[in-house]
Structure 1
């Protein structure tokens, strides 16, 4: 089992805040004036990976299933659990290990769907970095501690026979800052999902690696237990809409490329098409939650938090939404 770096102080603070706010604001949702059930979904990275959400909003898939969905991008993964606890969002999607860590600390959270069971990262490197050996002692740009990139850098280096300590991890708060740092020479490489990092090739960077072949509990949708109990109908509708969205992204390249441009800010048809083709190897065909990946998430969280992982993760997965149960 691959083990990762320790949770950041920011993530730990977020977990504490989530416990303090646990259960607040969980009331039964009422339909709006148009007969739709309101639902806010928080996601943690500005990239093509969440095209299932973008398509669901832009092309009326959520509305078709009776939902008025608002999607909100959070600044980083440390904000996801506090946002759920405060009811700022009702569903959060991000790195499964972060949710698992919150559960180990006492948060009442449940996994309800999964869209990405693999890493969606590429490593883009400066022209003088020809091999991974060239990265030794060099700076690698990441967004934040506890992010997908934080976990991914450890896995990627280990797959190349290296250690995390062989490089200097530089946390830059966001993807635009990562791109700028590589283009300016402040770091020698970055880990990002396409298309943002991909655009650095225009400034001479090259792709050193891609990670879509490595399993990782990434697009993990989670909710608070109180919300799940009081609003099961809403979540059943969400699951059905998510299933349709995952099929839609696979059969509507033109439409999905358009929303990739809109939500990532990368105004290049070539880059959005590149991202779309990349993610066909990442997106699941259904939103089913794989217990093995959730077990992996808990194992990673347990290592990082020095707590014991549960032997049975099934009680943290709600697998009944697909059948309407």
Structure 2
């Protein structure tokens, strides 16, 4: 390469680097597979091709991430649809895409637990980081679908990921709702047993949503559109590149690749291609707010999300 050609190439590379906009995204946990698609997009250069330098930060739960978003430390974040309750209470962010409709969570119990069937879950205690979380809602919804009173299962809050698992192992709670791949890993270690998958009982649930701050919607709408376009391009990549996807998700979550592979097909099937918000899932989310006593009445769900930044299909 000639000196002139090298300088031209170096200048082009510098200009491309300078053109990339830093876009900060949060996720509440490291061990959930759905959040790890963010890192997959970064590793594959998909966000970069859309002019974004995406920086992913993991927080100790959704509440910490919400604080960071409200403080202007993030442009966007991923959480379950129940996170929309924060918007209903006045938080300065809104749902901008539904990343997964349905759930890839499983119910686990201690390996030597007396609980052997769904019926045995009546009267049990579960743990969750906070009430309006997937771990808090899924057991309640399961109870309602069984025709039980919602109080037939108790939720002990204030227990994120690792703390909740410790509570289960020591017998301080009876059951726990967690990511299916993590459930597989714990079951293989012999400490817990998978009782059931929640997917067939709770089909209308926003397992993963993308939220954007009011500020980025107002001041950087084109970058937000580029981020969402790149995210769904990442999901499309994952559908057609299983080996690369499994390897990336395993490294990001710290879970065995074999267990990621076991849940790959059902996870990919539930990941959205468009980011749209199904009406049935919106109604189920509104119901959850009231059942969990997060809100006194169902909110106007249309005020809690927008599809204005989704890519055209």
Range class of TM-score, shorter chain: 0.7 to 0.9
Instruction: Compute the TM-score of the two structures, normalised by the length of structure 2.
Output: 0.82
Query: Using a 3 Å threshold, how does the CA distance of structure 1 residues 178 and 316 change in structure 2: closer, same or farther?
Result: closer
Of 71, 77, 89, the match for 2:62: 77
Hey, what's the Cα distance between the residues in 2 that align with 1:321 and 1:136? 41
Query: Using a 3 Å threshold, how does the CA distance of structure 1 residues 188 and 295 change in structure 2: closer, same or farther?
Result: closer
Query: Using a 3 Å threshold, how does the CA distance of structure 1 residues 274 and 171 change in structure 2: closer, same or farther?
Result: farther
1:231-242 residue pairs with structure 2 within 5 A? Answer: 231-242=220-231
Contact 2:94 2:211 in 1 (8 A): yes
Which residue of the partner structure matches residue 305 of structure 1?
Answer: 295
Of 199, 209, 216, the match for 1:227: 216
Superposed displacement of residue 296, structure 1: 4.0
Contact 1:110 1:318 in 2 (8 A): no
RMSD: 2.6
Does residue 271 of structure 1 match 2:259?
yes
SS at match of 1:196: helix
Of 83, 91, 95, the match for 1:107: 91
Q: Which moved more, 1:178-187 or 1:73-82?
A: 178-187
Query: Using a 3 Å threshold, how does the CA distance of structure 1 residues 238 and 184 change in structure 2: closer, same or farther?
Result: same
1:1-325 residue pairs with structure 2 within 5 A? Answer: 33-45=17-29, 46-99=31-84, 101-126=85-110, 127=112, 128-171=114-157, 173-202=159-188, 203=190, 205-213=192-200, 214-266=203-255, 268-301=256-289, 304-307=294-297, 309-310=299-300, 313=302, 316-323=305-312
Hey, what's the Cα distance between the residues in 1 that align with 2:68 and 2:16? 22
Query: Using a 3 Å threshold, how does the CA distance of structure 1 residues 299 and 160 change in structure 2: closer, same or farther?
Result: closer
Query: Using a 3 Å threshold, how does the CA distance of structure 1 residues 40 and 320 change in structure 2: closer, same or farther?
Result: closer
Superposed displacement of residue 314, structure 1: 6.3
Contact 1:142 1:172 in 2 (8 A): yes
SS at match of 1:322: coil
Structure 1 gap segments, 5+ residues each: 1-30
Query: Using a 3 Å threshold, how does the CA distance of structure 1 residues 136 and 218 change in structure 2: closer, same or farther?
Result: closer
Contact 1:47 1:263 in 2 (8 A): no
Superposed displacement of residue 256, structure 1: 1.7
Contact 2:109 2:194 in 1 (8 A): yes
Instruction: Compute the TM-score of the two structures, normalised by the length of structure 1.
Output: 0.80
Hey, what's the Cα distance between the residues in 2 that align with 1:65 and 1:294? 30
**Number of residues of Structure 1 aligned to a counterpart in Structure 2:** 291
Contact 1:179 1:196 in 2 (8 A): no
